[in-house]
Structure 1
Amino acid sequence: MMKVYIQIVLGSLLVAIGINAFFVPQHFLDGGMIGIGLISHYWLDFQPGLTMVILSIPLYVLAFFFDRSLFYKSIHGLWLSSLLIDMLKPLSESIQMIPLIAALMGGAFVGVGIGLMLMAEAAAGGTDLLAQIIGKSTGWNVGIIIFIIDTAVLLGGFVLIGAYSFFHSLLAISTVGFFTALLTHNKNRKRFSFR
C-alpha cells in the first residue's frame, strides 16, 4: 500500500509542477479535466484544481458503482493533484522558457505524473478515471484513451487560446500521451497475460 501512496503523491506533484511551471505561463491547455480546469482559469479566472473536483463528481459517482477499489484509490489522486495544482500556482509566475521546450517539458512532467497515478490505479481527474474504466472493460491502453479525450478537450479550447498556443498544446498533450502510454503499457500487458 505504501508504494501506491508514494506513486499517487509523486504523480500528483509532477502533474502540478507540469501544469504551473510549463503550461500556465504559456497559456497551454491539457486535455481531460485538467484541460477543462485550465479553460475555466484562462477564461473565467477560476481555480483549475477546484474546477476539476467539482466537474469530476459525476464520474466519481460512476466509479463508486463500477469499481469501488478504483474509486477509493482515485479519490486521493483527484484531491491531492487538484490541491497541489492550486497551491503551486506561484510557479506559473517564476519560470519562463520558449514555448517548444515548455510543451515538451510540461508534457513529460504531466505524462509521467499521470502514468504513475494510473500504475497505482488512481486518477488525477474524472476523465482519467473514465479512461481507466473503459480500459478495464475493453483492454484498450489507458494512455491512448486519455490521448483521445485530451484531443477532444483541446479542440474545444481552440477558440480561447488561438492557433499558436493550440499547436504547442497539441505537442504537449502528445507528449503527455506518450509518457502515459509508455508507463501503462507494461502494466496492461502483464494484466492480460494471465487470461
Structure 2
Amino acid sequence: MKNIITSLSMTIVGTFLVALAINLVSVPNELGDGGVTGLTLFFHYTLNFDIPKTAFVLNVIILIIGWKLLNKLTIIYTLISIAALSFFLQVIQPAPFIPDNQLVAPLVSGVIMGTGLGIVIRGGGSTGGTDILALIVNKYTGISVSNALLMFDGVIISLLFFAIGLEKGAISIVGILLYSRILNFWVTGYNPKNALFIISHKHEEIGNEIMDKVKRGVTIFSGYGFYSKKQRQILYVVVSNRQLMAVKKIVHNIDPKAFIAVNDVQQVDGEGFTFLREPEEMTLETDESILNPNG
C-alpha cells in the first residue's frame, strides 16, 4: 500500500509539472513539443482545438493501443495520469512566462517538462501518449525510454514546423533535447556507476578490503592468461563515482602491479542499488530504473 501511494503521488506531482510547463511556457511562447503534447499544440495552433480535450482524446486512443502490451499496473497509473493531465491543463492558468531572450523559454520548459515526465515514469506510470509508445519500444527492443521519445518527438516536431515556423521550431528542439536528457537522468539514476575488473594475485586481500572499507560486494571470475598460460582470478565490483578512487587506492596499496579496467555503467538494478535507500546505505548514492514493463 505504501508503494502504491508513493507511485500515485509521483504520478500526480509529475503530471502537474507537465501541465504547468505547457500552460506557463509552451503555449504563451508558441513553442512546439513532442509526443501527444506536440500533436495537441499543433491542432491548437492550426485549428484552435481545445488543449485539455484534445490531449485527453489522443491519449485515450494511444492508451487503447498499449492496453494489451504494457503492465496493467502501469496502465492504471496512466489512466489516472491522463485524467489528471486534462484536469491540470484546464485549471492551471498561471501568468504567462515570456522572457526577452527566446532561448530561455525552451530551457525553462525543458527542465519542468523533463522533471515532470521523469517523476511520473519513475513512479511506474506515464503521462500517456508517446510515453506509452516509448515504454512499448523499451520493453521489446531495449532502446531507452528517452531515446524512443526523442525519435517520436522528431517526427511530431517536424509537423509543428509548418504551424509555428522555422525559428520557433528550431528553438523548440532545444527544449525537447533538454527534457529528454533530464528524463534520462530521472529514469536511469541520480549518479552514474563504474564497473571495475581487477586482476591481481592478491585478489583475496583486495576483495576483503573493498567489502570492509567501501561496503560493496565483490564477485570473482576465473580467467586464464593467454600470454602467461596461468589461471587468473578476476574481481568484479560496481561502485559509485565517489567510491571509485577509494577502490583504486585500495588496489594500488595492496598490489601496485594489479591490472584495473574501469567501465561506465548506465544503470544498475539489484540489491545495494535500489530506488529507495536502505538504512545502512544512507551514505551511498544509489539508483534503479523501476519501469514496470522491465519487471
TM-score when normalising by structure 1 = 0.90
Aligned to 2:13: 10
Which fold has the larger relative contact order, with Cα–Cα distance below 8 Å and residues 6 or more apart in sequence? 1
**TM-superposed deviation, 1:82:** 2.3
Aligned to 1:102: 105
Aligned to 1:84: 88
- The answer to whether the 8 Å contact 2:23/2:96 transfers is no
Q: Deviations over 1:102-145 (max 9, x none)?
A: 11011110011011111122111221111111112222210111
Structure 2: stretches of 5+ with no match in the other structure: 191-265, 271-287, 289-293
- State the identity %: 23
**Structure whose alpha-carbon radius of gyration is higher:** 2
**More strand per residue:** 2
Q: Deviations over 1:155-195 (max 9, x none)?
A: 11111100111111010111111111111123983459999
**More helix per residue:** 1
DSSP 3-state at the match of 1:58: helix
Equivalent residue for 1:21, pick from 24, 40, 45? 24
Q: C-alpha distance in 1, partners of 2:102/2:91?
A: 23
DSSP 3-state at the match of 1:124: coil
Aligned to 1:169: 172
1:133-152, aligned counterparts within 5 Å?
Answer: 133-152=136-155
- The answer to whether the 8 Å contact 1:70/1:122 transfers is yes
- The answer to whether the 8 Å contact 1:31/1:173 transfers is yes
Equivalent residue for 1:74, pick from 43, 55, 78? 78
Structure 1: stretches of 5+ with no match in the other structure: none
Moved more, 26-35 or 44-53: 44-53
**TM-superposed deviation, 1:17:** 1.1
Q: Are residues 1:47 and 2:125 paired? A: no
The amino acid that maps onto 1:69 is L
DSSP 3-state at the match of 1:189: coil
**TM-superposed deviation, 1:12:** 0.7
Number of aligned residues: 193
The amino acid that maps onto 2:97 is I
Q: C-alpha distance in 1, partners of 2:145/2:269?
A: 13
Over the aligned positions, Cα root-mean-square deviation in angstroms equals 2.2
Moved more, 138-147 or 153-162: 138-147
Q: C-alpha distance in 1, partners of 2:43/2:151?
A: 21
